[in-house]
Amino acid sequence: MTGKRNLTTYGIAFLIILGLNFFLPRMMPGNPLMAIYGDEALVAMTPALKAHLVARFALDQPLWQQFAAYIAALFQGDMGWSYFYNAGVLKVVLGSLPWTLLVVGTSLVLSTLLGIVLGIESGWRRGSRTDRTLLTGLMSLNGFPDFFLGLVLLIVFGVLLGVAPLSGALTPYSGLSGLALVLDVLKHMALPVAALTAAYLAGGYLLTRNTMITVLKSPFMTTARAKGLSQKALKYRHAGRNSMLPVLTMTGIWLGRVVTGALFVELVFTYPGVGQLTYQALLARDYPVIQGVFLMVAISVLVVNFAVDLLYPKLDPRVSYAR
């Protein structure tokens, strides 16, 4: 049921995102500048700054001109100005992006791979104790929200056992380099990645397991068994290769979930990524930054989805892309 999205769909999605970003502040009561920056910031701004901002974002012009200005600015890489950081939003967001990418990327890959493998093994042994345990276990694990998991991990490993750092991506002021630096980074990202992976493992697992159950009944599995192939070959080369396809198509959508999960997890671990940035922005009502994060996250998810849609036919030869 996937793979039928074409450019129009993504186009509409993009427009919706832009639209939300643009119209939300302008629909709030009060003057647009206040809506965009919030009353607290406004109070602290000098009139000169206010005038500058109004001009920059065409806030005194009719709505459609504002929209045009907005789009034009976007294409130039100008996503707004953060009062609190006193810098362009794009620059601010890009500063935090790498850490989030690191954590999210690792978690996504780990949870997908592990989910697939566990799903294959579980589906293969359907009904056995291993399968039942995995199924109940992972469904339960899935019920724990990622932030709660993160907190529990933090408490257990950070506070109680003291083996993991309590915050940050790096040990501050340590001046490490080379291998030591890498180890330090790994140590700091271990728990956040663990939390995210655990929280999103079940999705891939369940989907793979269900597909596996169906695939195992296919005629080609009987053919494969007749060929006298080893269990491993049957499980992975034949059944597994077919079972992992649905998971891969969901990767794009799951990316969205993992990214939002990162938001919470970064908060819990005080990890300096985009999530932490968003939280601070929420606290401070730094709307430009919130909007900027929203735009970036939403667009990257769209892009990844699109990429997966393009790549999928390479993995499943039954799908021809021109549909």
Binding to other proteins, residues 229-268 (CB under 8 A)? 229-230, 233, 237-238, 241-242, 245, 252-253, 255-257, 259-260, 263-264, 267-268
Please compute Rg for the chain using Cα positions.
24
Options 3, 10, 18, 74; binder of other proteins; rule CB under 8 A: 10
Q: Taking the complex as a whole, how short is the minimal distance between the CB of residue 13 and other proteins, in angstroms?
A: 4
Q: Does 67 sit near other proteins (CB under 8 A)?
A: no
Q: Taking the complex as a whole, how short is the minimal distance between the CB of residue 224 and other proteins, in angstroms?
A: 7
Q: Does 84 sit near other proteins (CB under 8 A)?
A: no
Direct distance between the N- and C-terminal alpha carbons of the chain, in angstroms, rounded to an integer: 12
Q: Does 82 sit near other proteins (CB under 8 A)?
A: no
Q: Does 204 sit near other proteins (CB under 8 A)?
A: no
Q: Does 65 sit near other proteins (CB under 8 A)?
A: no
Q: Taking the complex as a whole, how short is the minimal distance between the CB of residue 91 and other proteins, in angstroms?
A: 20
Q: What does residue 82 show for φ and ψ, rounded to 5 degrees?
A: -90, 120
Q: Taking the complex as a whole, how short is the minimal distance between the CB of residue 323 and other proteins, in angstroms?
A: 14
Q: Does 29 sit near other proteins (CB under 8 A)?
A: no
Q: Please, which residue, 92 or 151, has the CB nearer to other proteins?
A: 151
Q: Does 131 sit near other proteins (CB under 8 A)?
A: yes
Q: Three-class SS of residue 227?
A: coil
* Burial (Cβ within 10 Å: 0-12, 13-18, ≥19) of residue 310: exposed
Q: Please, which residue, 125 or 185, has the CB nearer to other proteins?
A: 125
Q: Taking the complex as a whole, how short is the minimal distance between the CB of residue 188 and other proteins, in angstroms?
A: 18
95-113 core/surface letters (b: 16 or more CB in 10 A; e: else): ebbebbebbbebbbebbbe
* Segment interacting with other proteins (CB under 8 A) among 73-81, 93-101, 109-117, 132-140: 132-140
Q: Please, which residue, 193 or 288, has the CB nearer to other proteins?
A: 288
Q: Going along the chain, which residue ranges are E strands?
A: 81-82, 87-88
Cα dihedral sign, 295-297-302-306:
positive
Options 52, 56, 91, 132; binder of other proteins; rule CB under 8 A: 132
Closest alpha carbon to 168 in 149, 188, 186: 188
Q: Taking the complex as a whole, how short is the minimal distance between the CB of residue 168 and other proteins, in angstroms?
A: 16
Q: Does 45 sit near other proteins (CB under 8 A)?
A: no
SS3 for 143-194 is: HCCHHHHHHHHHHHHHHHCCCCCCCCCCCCCCCCCHHHHHHHHHHHHHHHHH
Q: Under rule CB under 8 A, which residues in 275-304 are in contact with other proteins?
A: 278-279, 282-283, 285, 287, 290-291, 294, 297-298, 301-302
Q: Can you state the percent helix, strand and coil of the chain, rounding each to 5? A: 75, 0, 20
Contact 289, 42 (CB under 8 A): no
Q: Taking the complex as a whole, how short is the minimal distance between the CB of residue 262 and other proteins, in angstroms?
A: 11
Dist CA 268 CA 151 (whole Å): 6
From residue 150 to residue 169, the character string flagging contacts with other proteins as x (rule: CB under 8 A) and all else as - is -xx-xx---x----------
